Amino acid sequence: MKFSASTVLLAAALGVSAHPHGAAHLHVRKDTNLEVRDNFVKNVKPTSTVFQTVTVPAVNALAAPSSSSTTAAASTTTTSQAAATTSASSGTIGTGGSYSNDFCTGNSKRGSVADNSYKGNTGSTSFGCNLKFVEESAAKNYQYISVLENAASQKQGCACFLKSGSDGQSFSGSFKGSEVLTFDLAAGAKKYLAVQAGSIGGCACSPGSLLYSTYGQIAGMWYEWEFGSTNNVGFSGADASSLVPEDAGLAIQGMTITKEDPEYVNGSEKKSIIYPNGDGCNAFPKGTNAADGYGFNIANTQQGGDAIRFHVKWGTTGSLSDCPDVTESGYGSTKKWRQTRA
C-alpha cells in the first residue's frame, strides 16, 4: 500500500531551503495492477490535479463511522506478558462482528470524496484521534489492529503517523512534529494499535532511537497501511518499505509483516519483508519507488466485515532465499515477490 514518492514538491510546500532526495518515502500510489484502495497524488496539494481513475468491482460502500466516547488506553506488553495472554492475531476475533469505534468524541464529520482521497481520515474532532494504543485484551474489540513488535535485541524508537499532517497538507504527516504517536519498544515488546476506518498512514521504527532524514522526515523502516478506505469501497492494505532510510543514506534493519488470516498465492503464504541487507519480498526495497502492487491488497474490509490484523516485526533476520519464488499475476500485471535491492 505504498503511498510515497518524490518529496521535491512537498519540500517546497513546507518551505525547506533544500529539496529532499528524489524518491523519499512519499510515493505516488497508482494501483493499476491490483484493487485500488485510494487515489494518491504527488507530494503537495496541487491547484489542479487529474486523479487516476481505476475501475473496481462494485461492492457496498463503507458505512460512515458512528461517534462515541473515547476510552483511549496505551500499554507496552513484554514478551513474558504476551505469553500469558491470547494474542490479538491468534484468530479469536470472529467474522462479520460489531466492532468498537470509540476513537473520537463529538460529532463525526465526513470530508468530500476528493478530500478523503487526498488526506484520508485524520480524526473527526481532533487530529490523530483516529489512532490509539489499546490493551492486548481489548484488541479483539476493534476491526483494524496492528500488532507492533520489536524482534531485535535492543530498544526501538518508533512513531505512528497519518498521510496528512495537522497542517492539512497531504503527505506532510511523515515529518517531524506531525507524528500522532511516538514511543519506544523494548526488546521483545509489543504494542497494539487500533485504527479507525478510512485512515491512511504508517508506523516506523529504528534501533535505539527514531531516525529522521536531513529534511526532518521519519526515516525508520516503514510499515505503510490503509484501513477501510472511505473513498474506494472499503479496501485495506499494507506493505514494508525501506525507501525512506535508503534514500536518506541511513541504516536499515529487517522487518516482516504478516496477516492473521493468511492469503496463499501459488501455495505460499503472502508476507511483506525487507531483509537486513536491503533485499525485499513482496515489499518496497531500494529501487522500487515507481513500482506498485506489492504488499497486501484486501477488498471491501468495511465496518461489520471481517477484522484485519497485521503483525509487524522490526529487527527480523533472513535473506532473499527465504522469500518464496512466487510470480503473482492479476489485474493486468505480473510481479515477482523476490526483489533484489537496487
pLDDT at residue 35, rounded to an integer: 36
> pLDDT: is 2 or 156 the higher one?
156
Segments making up each domain of the chain, as ranges:
8-45+66-339
CA dihedral 77, 149, 261, 92 (to 10 degrees): 0
| pLDDT tens, residue by residue, 79-128 | 333 332 333 333 344 455 688 988 986 444 444 444 444 456 665 568 88
Q: Helix (H, G, I), strand (E, B), or coil: what is residue 119? A: helix
CA distance 18 to 21: 10
On whether the CB atoms of residues 180 and 131 are closer than 8 A, the answer is yes
Does the structure show a pLDDT above 50 at 29? no
Q: Helix (H, G, I), strand (E, B), or coil: what is residue 149? A: strand
On whether the CB atoms of residues 77 and 86 are closer than 8 A, the answer is no
Predicted structure pTM score = 0.75
| pLDDT tens, residue by residue, 39-83 | 332 222 333 322 222 222 222 222 223 333 333 333 333 333 333
Longest dimension (CA), the chain: 54
Locate 198 and state its grid cell.
Answer: 478510512
pLDDT at residue 187, rounded to an integer: 98
